[in-house]
Chain A
């Protein structure tokens, strides 16, 4: 009887260790990830809707969310354009130093965010390598919202490149040959034949970079200047509320951001489901 009950939710296997490994996985996952996140959400329910709304719609929280979202959006857009070029160049062309360039794309994943933060600040400070070139033009990057955009562009850089590369490799060259033999010039073949097949991966990379940018903290706090209402990002506001021992304020902003992450996650899945229907792959 009991074997039948088991068989209904899992296929029998002669490989031992199912109970042990799945049990350990579920326990560890629950203790480290699920229970603490549920605790955070529960903590927010201690607030009434009016209180929650008062915090969420306060001018400072709204400004911080707008900056985090807006700067991440611009950073992801920059990465979509240049990431597409980088991915294309790395897959299609041969030139000296290509392998090194390919390897260094992952730097933002490997370099600690605090290191990236102070390095970018040093470069874009008005006395820095690039900052001193921009200062005469009246452009200040460090300690303004532009600095936030620069940091989020850095942090999101690998996402678009790495999601596009395998898809560009997979493009069937015969499709391009067909387009050329039917009279399309190269520009039309790229725009009308190749680009549509890259679109789902490009969108996925864009949303991944965007999601990462909204939650990013370490690389931004050094270059942003952190002026309330102006250059204060949402994650920093959580930290500030915590240091003030305002747990309710911190959790309210945090659940708002969790909700945004969830929407991003849903978006990625919708893009991939659509791509699977439309193109038959992700």
Chain B
């Protein structure tokens, strides 16, 4: 019982931070919240997928319809992602490198697909190309099927992933201004040369970032694709739709096995995304740092 211990001043705390117990409490709350809503759902996917052992897991993925769904998902992403990549680059070039009227409206319209429900994204193409749609009878007369076939799935996927590359590139290219390009052009470079040798190296990580997010959504889209797919087994089911079918058939392990592949893709996406942010954060658009 020394007097020194009694007289010891309270632990000093900077006036611009919280007391230690408050800090710890807030960290625990944050951990519990993220654990409950993010970590546990992720874990349960893998636990359920491997519930029957590796053999059952492999057997589930070896199923013919499941394999067809994996192929279709890859095919759809292989069309939708490059299409939106080309669009994103063109849109960013037009919006960031020139001053013209109506630019704000154009930027807003590019973001529009993000505020539309995925189900509506599917519905609009049914209204356009379905059997009762505006172009339905004409398409039928010419033997072209879009709805309940692969073209419809591709269109719906393009719609829901429409803004990803553009919204990453537009702020980035606006930040970088037009001086580099003007210098290149005045030194005699053509438009294509300017883009490939001046602009592209400046935006390559941002471009990759946009493509990464675009691809994750393209492979994982459910609502929009579900409306236009028709659910023909082995033909028009992407992986998310195959999960639904297996789940509704009570093929629990198989459903989670397919789900675990998509969860792995999501994890890989997050890892690459974080790596891009840590390594090249200063070369990405403001919002994604």
- Flag whether B247 is at the interface (Cβ < 8 A): yes
Which residue of chain B has its CB nearest to the CB of A243?
B227
- Flag whether A275 is at the interface (Cβ < 8 A): no
Best-buried of A13, A118, A242, A261 by chain B (most CB within 10 Å): A118
B228 to chain A, nearest CB (A): 10
Give how many A residues have a beta carbon under 8 Å from the other chain's beta carbons.
95
- Flag whether B27 is at the interface (Cβ < 8 A): yes
Residues of B within 8 A of A123 (CB): 40-41, 44
Q: Quick one: which of A199-243 are within 8 Å of B by CB? A: 211, 214-218, 222, 235-236, 238-239, 242
Residue pair A29, B110 in contact (C-beta under 8 Å): yes
With A257-B117, A261-B115 given, is the CB distance from A32 to B162 under 8 Å?
yes
Report how far A110 CA is from B126 CA in the complex, Å: 27
- Flag whether B124 is at the interface (Cβ < 8 A): yes
With A13-B178, A130-B40 given, is the CB distance from A39 to B16 under 8 Å?
no
- Flag whether A22 is at the interface (Cβ < 8 A): yes
Report how far A120 CA is from B190 CA in the complex, Å: 54
Chain B interface, >50% SS class = helix
Report how far A103 CA is from B18 CA in the complex, Å: 25
Residue pair A15, B182 in contact (C-beta under 8 Å): yes
Residues of A within 8 A of B128 (CB): 35-36, 39
Report how far A114 CA is from B26 CA in the complex, Å: 31
- Flag whether A277 is at the interface (Cβ < 8 A): no
Report how far A256 CA is from B127 CA in the complex, Å: 16
**Among B3-11, B58-66, B137-145, B263-271, which stretch is in contact with chain A?**
B263-271
Best-buried of B17, B27, B40 by chain A (most CB within 10 Å): B27
With A111-B266, A245-B132, A254-B123 given, is the CB distance from A18 to B94 under 8 Å?
yes
A213 to chain B, nearest CB (A): 10
Partner of A82, one of B29, B101, B159: B29
Residues of A within 8 A of B195 (CB): 17
Q: Quick one: which of A1-60 are within 8 Å of B by CB? A: 9-11, 13-18, 20-22, 24-26, 28-29, 32-37, 39-40, 43
Residue pair B97, A173 in contact (C-beta under 8 Å): no
Residue pair A215, B118 in contact (C-beta under 8 Å): yes
With A10-B100, A111-B263, A157-B37 given, is the CB distance from A261 to B44 under 8 Å?
no
Other A-B contacts than A21-B94, A109-B217, A119-B41, 8 sampled, CB-CB below 8 A, are A33-B162, A110-B213, A111-B262, A115-B45, A115-B220, A115-B243, A217-B119, A250-B123
- B interface residue numbers (CB < 8 A to A): 15-19, 22-23, 26-27, 29-31, 33-34, 36-42, 44-45, 48, 86-87, 90-91, 93-95, 97-102, 106, 109-110, 112-113, 115-120, 123-128, 130, 132-134, 155, 158-159, 162, 178, 181-182, 185-186, 190-191, 194-195, 213, 216-217, 219-223, 226-227, 239-241, 243-244, 247, 255-256, 259, 262-263, 266-267, 269-271, 273-274, 278, 286-287, 289
Sort A-B residue pairs by CB-CB distance and give the 10 closest, nearest first.
A112-B220, A215-B117, A180-B15, A218-B222, A10-B100, A217-B223, A16-B191, A36-B124, A110-B266, A11-B99
